[in-house]
Structure formats: structure tokens, C-alpha cells
Amino acid sequence: MQLLKALLFLLIPVTLALPVDVAAPVDNVLETRQSGPVTCGSNTYTVAQVTGARNSGYNYVKQGGTAGGSTYPHVYNNYEGFSFPVAGPYYEFPLLKSGAYTGGSPGADRVIFNKSGQRAGEITHTGASGNNFVGCSRTS
């Protein structure tokens, strides 16, 4: 019994001192893929809504058109300097609460993706000055 106590006394601090961030690279991958809802200003979007907007925008890039006589999707130059997790060039496409954007008013919120359709992030005019963008809740 004394020996067991002594062993525990020696082992517990060693166990507690082991590195705990072994899973960090996995977390980063999940973050790139968007692991939960996104809030832009007062609008909250599900993963499915954001993914839908991104797929819709990327389809236009692949097929070489724009939505309903609008200019979207178009190249986004990232003048704001967001640190997106994927390489550019980037495209922006409106992110709506009411389904896929098909032209008309784009609203304030956007999805950003690269030339292969990879998620870069979500940005919004809400809370930004002039025509600038700020990051939504999962984009900085």
C-alpha cells in the first residue's frame, strides 16, 4: 500500500505535465471547414446556409457566369487584410438568410472562397466603415 501511494505520488505530476495540445492540427482543419454557425452583424447562419452560398458562388466561377445580371461572384482583393486559412485569389458572393443569391440587392454579408471553391471565410459590411468589410464570427 505504501509502495502504491509512492508510485501514484510520483506518476500523477508526470501525467499532468504531458502536452495537451496534441489535437491542435485537427482543430485547425475543422476551423477551416467551419465547425458551427457564423454570425455577421445580427444575422446568424448555419453551416448548411454558408456552405450553400459558397457552393452556389463557386458554381458560377466554374461555369463562367454571374448571378442574375449582377456582378457576383467577383474577385475579392482582401484590402482589409484578413488572414484567411487558404491561398487566394479569392471570390466574394452574397450570403443571404433566404436561400441562394440570384441577383438584386446583395445585402451586407458575403462568403469568401478561393479558385478551387475552398472556404476562406465570411465577411460583412455591418459594423464596417464605408464600403469596407469586417470579419463575421469565424473570420479574422
Q: 86 vs 100, which CB is nearer to ligand NAG? A: 86
Residue 31 annotated as catalytic: no
CB of 84 to ligand NAG, least distance (A): 9
Residue of 3, 4, 45, 14 lying closest to 139 (CA atoms) = 45
| β-bridge partners, 20 | none
- Using CB under 6 A as the binding rule, whether residue 44 contacts ligand NAG is answered as no
Residue list 118-137, contact with ligand NAG (CB under 6 A): 118
Which residue in 31, 74, 80, 122 is the catalytic one? 74
Q: Which is nearer to ligand NAG, 119 or 125 (CB)?
A: 119
Q: How far is the CB of 11 from ligand NAG (least distance, A)?
A: 42
Cβ atoms of residues 99 and 45 within 8 Å = no
Beta bridge partners of 119: 113
122 in catalytic set: no
**Measured from the CB of residue 29, what is the shortest distance to ligand NAG in angstroms?**
11
Can 74 be counted among the known catalytic residues? yes
Q: Which is nearer to ligand NAG, 86 or 134 (CB)?
A: 86
Residues from 59 through 118 that contact ligand NAG (CB under 6 A): 86-87, 114-116, 118
Whether 45 and 122 have beta carbons less than 8 Å apart is answered as: yes
Positions marked catalytic? 74, 92, 125
The residues binding ligand NAG (CB under 6 A) are 86-87, 114-116, 118
